[in-house]
Structure 1
Amino acid sequence: MPDEVPGVDVPDRRGRTGLDRAGRDLDGNPRVRVREVELLSSSWYVLRRTTFDYLRTDGSWSTQERETYDRGNGATVLLYDAERATVLLTRQFRYPVYVNGHPDGLLLETAAGLLDDDDPETAIRREAAEETGYDIGEVRHVFDVYMSPGSVTERLHFFAAPYTADRRTSEGGGLADDGEDIEVVELPFAKALAMIGSGEIADAKTVMLLQWAALSGPFAGRDR
């Protein structure tokens, strides 16, 4: 009898089974026929290898193989004070960027996190409170983006929301049980925007939200 595979036949460490079924029932694109899905890892997030046939534009079929990393979908928010012309960011250690050339692995970022079982707005309110300590009010949905479509399935929901000192309910810093050690950083918006050009802000979601804020968001049309 073959060994039972965690995440496929028996629950993995997060209680999941059937993780090799993802994508097998896709029918939105007649040029794609999924043949096989193999679970490579489900230690925490899920790594799969999928084999599929693809109908090329010249009319021929090709068999292709792709690995996809599924960590769930997420949300991020730019917290801004339009009157004081400031933004509220976080700084935390990111090992993947550290091992890929970032000097110390400490990234300046907008508050963000995975949705888990929440809707995007609920999730970003939770993450903003955990990371920055601010209980945010009205939020504005900006756009949704696939951040790394060549290999990562995640769709990130972008938001913006004002913050004021009286909305701070805790020190923030993230959840220690999740290994988070987050510094809350307030910056003048003009300085944050300039830090994109200097390379001091190198996180994609943060760059996108800062540029949105300058072009059509709360700081559009202002002299900087």
Structure 2
Amino acid sequence: MTAGIDTPDRRGRTGLDRHGRDLTGNPRVRVQDVQVLSCDWYVLRRTTFDYQHSDGHWSREQRETYDRGDGATVLLYDEQRRTVLLTRQFRLPAYVNGHPDGMLLETAAGLLDGDDPEGAIRREAAEETGHTIGRVQHVFDVFMSPGSVTERLHFFAAPYRSSPAAPHTAGLAEEGEDITVVELGFAAALDMVRGGAIADAKTIMLLQWAALDGPFRPTGPTPQGG
């Protein structure tokens, strides 16, 4: 008996080896086998499949996929003051891969954990920044690392109001979170992207969206082509 397959793993899941076996959307892909390599918390699978190449021939391939569920992230902004609200927290994978101290500046984010994307990002904004947000704008949905990670990340933006009572630290202690809330001028945040001080992909994407199409986009007349 194998945990996560025949018997519940520590998160109560079974049948994890059946995920992805019945895919039919692409006739050039025929899934042959799915093996669970690890399900300690998230799920690492090895999938064997036949793939038809553009010239018509078939080859047998194997890929490992890491399934941590889908997530959501939100850029909190103050349009009038031209500021954004970010978080700073320790990220071990970045630290072991060359980041000087592993302390990354990021937009608030988290896994859906059974909630719809908007509900999840409201929860995460409150937990990670101490702010209860009002209206939210859906920006786009993105596969962040499609070569190996199944996660689809839902991007949002929402206004916030600065308050002297707002916390400077946040996060759930029971989940090991130790988060510093950081308010930055929008221009300074873009400069930090250019200089490498902000190196988190989702944060860079939302800041670029805010500059091009979002609350800080240029407001002058659009140039006319001649």
TM-score class, shorter = over 0.9
- Corresponding residue for 2:122? 125
After TM superposition, list the pairs within 5 Å mapping 1:55-74 onto structure 2: 55-74=52-71
TM-score by length of 2: 0.95
Q: Output the aligned Cα RMSD.
A: 1.5
Q: Would you say 1:146 and 2:143 are equivalent positions?
A: yes
Q: Would you say 1:20 and 2:17 are equivalent positions?
A: yes
The answer to whether the 8 Å contact 2:169/2:178 transfers is no
Provide the rounded CA distance (Å) in 1 between the counterparts of 2:110 and 2:90. 15
Q: Would you say 1:40 and 2:37 are equivalent positions?
A: yes
The answer to whether the 8 Å contact 2:67/2:151 transfers is yes
TM-score by length of 1: 0.96
- Corresponding residue for 2:111? 114
One-letter identity of the residue aligned with 1:180: E
Q: Which runs of 5+ in 1 are unaligned?
A: none
Q: Would you say 1:76 and 2:78 are equivalent positions?
A: no
The share of aligned pairs that are identical, in percent, is 73
Taking a change above 3 Å as real, the CA distance of residues 162 and 178 of structure 1, as seen in their structure-2 partners, is same
In structure 2, which of residues 8, 30, 46 is the aligned counterpart of residue 49 of structure 1?
Answer: 46
- Corresponding residue for 2:181? 184
Provide the rounded CA distance (Å) in 2 between the counterparts of 1:95 and 1:150. 21
- Corresponding residue for 1:94? 91
- How far does the alpha carbon of each residue in 1:122-143 deviate from its partner, in whole angstroms, 9 at most, with x for none? 0000000000000000000000
Taking a change above 3 Å as real, the CA distance of residues 167 and 159 of structure 1, as seen in their structure-2 partners, is farther
SS of equivalent to 2:131? coil
One-letter identity of the residue aligned with 2:51: Y
Moved over 2 A (4+): 165-172
- Corresponding residue for 1:210? 207
Taking a change above 3 Å as real, the CA distance of residues 191 and 166 of structure 1, as seen in their structure-2 partners, is closer
How many residues are aligned here? 220
Q: Which runs of 5+ in 2 are unaligned?
A: 221-226
SS of equivalent to 1:165? coil
After TM superposition, list the pairs within 5 Å mapping 1:139-178 onto structure 2: 139-165=136-162, 173-178=170-175
Provide the rounded CA distance (Å) in 1 between the counterparts of 2:7 and 2:177. 30
| C-alpha deviation, 1:173, in angstroms | 1.1
SS of equivalent to 2:191? helix
One-letter identity of the residue aligned with 1:177: E
